[in-house]
């Protein structure tokens, strides 16, 4: 019976405890804090109060909670009430306004992870109470205002994230209070100097995105257990020169991508298995540069400026499995460059300047030459690279944008040019119209001026001539004024002493005869119109004048029977000749005073034509020095020039000598 009762107790007590626990959890679930989510029936038991704008620590939190999330609130202080959460394993206080932690955290014996990142903690002394947490393994204090790690103490802390703070230096005593630390992240700090810090347990160190300049060969000597080192994106970092390089006997993984390395510098790291040297300025790989890295299995040299690989560059890398040489300027790869890499499985030579398929001696099972072109032929896959025209989507996008902008500029320029051209054409058309209008006005003005001049000339022709002085009225030589008033001579003075032989009759021709002869010339029609009666009267007067001239000329012609050798000094002959000449002159004066005498020459008519004296039945010349005798036959007259030129103002009787 006793044994049976003992069995019933052993079964009843655990079930009772289970039921009590369930009842307590249900009771706690019923009192979950406001604006929080409680998952106390799950493992781990969680209470989520993030992003609720909480300014104070929430009340009524269950004592059995294991994960408590209070991130992204406005908490500025944590009270000692947190010590009643004895089951708490993870506490997230990130992205608040905390400046410190409570001084007493002794009751949080199960807390393993504490996140204090992105707060306003300015000194490690304000969080010194972490030393009271016996189970704390991971601490996040990144994105605070901490200047260093001095004073931070924990005997159990294994991982520390202190990235993106204000830490400028990692000294000898920076990690003395963290005796169990194995992982340290200082990424994103303005870290420039490392003075051989000491940590006997540190295995993983991240100093990426800092401002490191140079690492001395013994910089890592205080980390004897260090296995992995990250130095990514330190633009001025150099750790190796021609005479010295960084040294560590146990370092296995090294990542120095995006730095300023001009040489690998791995010969001081004999235990290295993985090395990432991507995106540096390495141009030359000397022979046997990796001879001391016999444990190296992964080597990444992509995105450098390598030009060629010699046959002994990779000599000694007998365990090399992955080699990445993509995105370099390789134009030639030696045939025996990979002969010692007996374990090589992946060889990447994509995005280089290889113009032909390399003739390699290698055991590589995967060869990557045209990246991301599986299923294409070699010509199609390597076309862009071989023709040095590699286009990416980003380049195409920018090209489309630039072409669109160029088209827009061209269209705007075309519109502006067309508008400017139309404006210029309109202006030229207006100027042409103005010029044509001005020319029309000038033409009209010239036409008016011409009409006025013609009217003036017509008026001058209608003005009666002034009374001129008769040469017979002069006693002596005429004065200048009298000479101006005298009528113009139809012929020169030499024509006064000439002999005309017409139809076998010899007669002397005076100036009056010349005037009569001139009147026989065809006159130009007058510009003004005359009536028919005037024309008839004028024709009757002309016929009367012709008959009178014929009668007068018949009485003055010398008979052919008269001797030609008569003495010219005979007073009777000279007086008769003088009387005939005076009669002809009187008749010429009488005829010149008539209405039909020729009008004097005007300046306009003199400019338009040159006066020439040509007669129908006689020969006339203006050459005063001429002695030529002109004879006429049949019905034409003969004019004989007898005397030499005489003064125009004098008078001399002419005489005629008969030819022998």
DSSP designation for 497: S
Q: For position 335, what pLDDT does the model report?
A: 86
Residue 187 has pLDDT above 60, yes or no: yes
Q: What percent of the chain has pLDDT over 70?
A: 65
pLDDT tens, residue by residue, 449-502: 888 888 888 887 765 555 555 666 556 677 777 777 776 665 555 554 544 444
Q: Which helix (H) or strand (E) holds 255?
A: strand 253-255
For 588-649, give the DSSP string.
Answer: HHHHHTSTTSPPPPPHHHHHHS------SSS-----TT---EE---TTS-EEEE-S----SS
Prior bond of 44 cis (ω within 30°): yes
In a domain, 174, yes or no: no
pLDDT mean across residues, the chain: 76
pLDDT tens, residue by residue, 51-67: 999 999 998 899 999 99
484: left (phi over 0), alpha (psi -120 to 50) or beta: alpha
Q: For position 193, what pLDDT does the model report?
A: 86
In a domain, 311, yes or no: no
Q: For position 657, what pLDDT does the model report?
A: 40
pLDDT tens, residue by residue, 1-35: 455 555 545 545 545 445 544 444 444 445 788 88
Q: For position 585, what pLDDT does the model report?
A: 41
- Determine which of 113-122, 201-210, 520-529 has the lowest per-residue pLDDT on average: 520-529
In a domain, 124, yes or no: yes
Closest to 215 (Cα-Cα) out of 237, 242, 200? 237
In a domain, 463, yes or no: no
Read off the pTM.
Answer: 0.55
Q: Which CATH number does the domain housing residue 129 bear?
A: 3.80.10.10
In a domain, 264, yes or no: no
In a domain, 481, yes or no: no
- Expressed as residue numbers, the domain containing 72 is 30-145
Structure tokens at 227: 């296995």
* Higher local confidence (pLDDT), 91 or 386: 91
Rounded distance between C-alpha atoms, residue 514 and residue 622, angstroms: 13
Report the pLDDT averaged over residues 272-282: 95
Distance of CA 406 to the CA centre of its chain: 10
pLDDT tens, residue by residue, 532-546: 677 788 888 888 888
Q: For position 540, what pLDDT does the model report?
A: 86
Q: For position 625, what pLDDT does the model report?
A: 43
How many domains does the chain divide into?
A: 1
pLDDT tens, residue by residue, 290-348: 999 999 999 999 999 998 888 899 999 999 999 999 999 888 888 888 888 888 999 99
Q: Confidence band (pLDDT; 50, 70, 90) for 388?
A: low
pLDDT tens, residue by residue, 560-595: 344 444 443 444 444 444 444 444 444 444 444 444
In a domain, 319, yes or no: no
- The helix/strand/coil state of 253 is strand
In a domain, 57, yes or no: yes
3-state secondary structure 308-376: EECCCCCCCCCCCCEEECCCCCCCEECCCCCCCCCCCCEEECCCCCCCCCCCCCCCCCEEECCCCCCCC
Estimate the share of the chain in helix, then strand, then coil, as percent rounded to the nearest 5: 30, 10, 60
């Amino acid at each position: 019976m006793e044994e049976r009762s003992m069995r019933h107790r052993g079964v009843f007590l655990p079930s009772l405890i289970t039921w009590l626990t369930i009842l307590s959890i249900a009771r706690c679930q019923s009192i979950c804090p406001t604006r929080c989510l409680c998952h106390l029936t799950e493992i781990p038991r969680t209470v989520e109060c993030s992003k609720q704008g909480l300014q104070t620590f929430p009340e009524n939190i269950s004592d059995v909670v294991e994960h408590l999330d209070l991130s992204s609130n406005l908490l500025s202080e944590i009270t000692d009430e947190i010590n009643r959460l004895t089951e708490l394993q993870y506490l997230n206080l990130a992205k608040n306004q905390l400046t410190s932690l409570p001084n007493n955290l002794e009751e949080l014996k199960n807390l393993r992870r504490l996140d204090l990142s992105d707060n306003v903690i300015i000194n490690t002394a304000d969080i010194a109470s972490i030393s009271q947490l016996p189970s704390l393994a991971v601490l996040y204090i990144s994105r605070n205002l901490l200047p260093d790690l001095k004073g931070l103490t924990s005997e159990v802390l294994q991982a520390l994230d202190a990235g993106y703070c204000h830490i400028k230096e990692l000294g000898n005593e920076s990690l003395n209070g963290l005796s169990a630390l194995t992982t340290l992240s200082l990424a994103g700090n303005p870290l420039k100097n490392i003075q051989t810090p000491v940590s006997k347990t540190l295995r993983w160190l991240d100093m990426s995105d800092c401002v490191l300049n140079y690492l001395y060969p013994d910089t890592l000597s205080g980390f004897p257990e260090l296995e992995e080192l990250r130095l990514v994106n330190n633009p001025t970092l150099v750790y190796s020169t021609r005479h010295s390089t960084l040294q560590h006997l146990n370092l296995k993984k090294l990542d120095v991508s995006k730095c300023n390395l001009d040489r690998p510098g791995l010969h001081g790291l004999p235990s290295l298995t993985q090395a990432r040297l991507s995106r540096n300025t390495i141009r030359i790989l000397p022979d046997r540069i990796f001879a001391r890295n016999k444990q190296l299995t992964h080597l990444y040299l992509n995105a450098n400026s390598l030009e060629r690989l010699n046959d002994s560059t990779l000599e000694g890398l007998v365990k090399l499995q992955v080699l990445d040489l993509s995105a370099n300027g390789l134009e030639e790869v030696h045939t025996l460059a990979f002969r010692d890499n007996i374990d090589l499985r992946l060889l990447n030579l994509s995005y280089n300047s290889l113009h032909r398929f390399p003739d390699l001696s290698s055991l590589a099972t995967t060869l990557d030459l045209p990246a991301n072109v599986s299923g294409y032929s070699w010509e199609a896959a390597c076309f862009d690279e071989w023709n040095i025209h590699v286009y990416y989507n980003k380049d195409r996008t920018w090209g489309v944008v630039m072409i669109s902008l160029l088209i827009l500029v061209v269209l705007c320029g075309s519109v502006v040019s067309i508008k400017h051209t139309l404006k210029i054409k309109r202006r030229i058309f207006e100027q042409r119209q103005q010029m044509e209008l001005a020319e029309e006005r000038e033409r009209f003005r010239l036409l008016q001026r011409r009409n006025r001049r013609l009217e003036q000339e017509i008026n001058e022709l209608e003005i009666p001539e002034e009374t001129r002085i008769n040469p017979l009225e002069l006693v002596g030589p005429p004065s200048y004024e009298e000479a101006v008033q005298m009528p113009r001579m139809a012929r020169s003075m030499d024509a006064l002493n000439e002999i005309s032989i017409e139809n076998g009759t010899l007669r002397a021709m005076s100036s009056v005869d010349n005037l009569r002869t001139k009147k026989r010339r065809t006159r130009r029609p007058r510009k003004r119109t005359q009536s028919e009666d005037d024309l008839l009267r004028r024709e009757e007067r002309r016929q009367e004048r012709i008959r009178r001239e014929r009668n007068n000329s018949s009485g003055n012609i010398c008979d052919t029977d008269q001797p030609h050798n008569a003495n010219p000094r005979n007073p009777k002959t000279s007086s008769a000749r003088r009387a005939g000449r005076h009669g002809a002159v009187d008749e010429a004066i009488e005829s010149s005073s008539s209405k039909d005498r020729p009008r004097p020459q005007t300046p306009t008519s003199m400019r338009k034509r040159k006066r020439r004296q040509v007669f129908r039945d006689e020969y006339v010349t203006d050459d005063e020095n001429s002695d030529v005798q002109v004879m006429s036959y049949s019905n034409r007259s003969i004019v004989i020039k007898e005397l030499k030129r005489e003064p125009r103002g004098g008078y001399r009787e002419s005489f005629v000598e008969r030819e022998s």
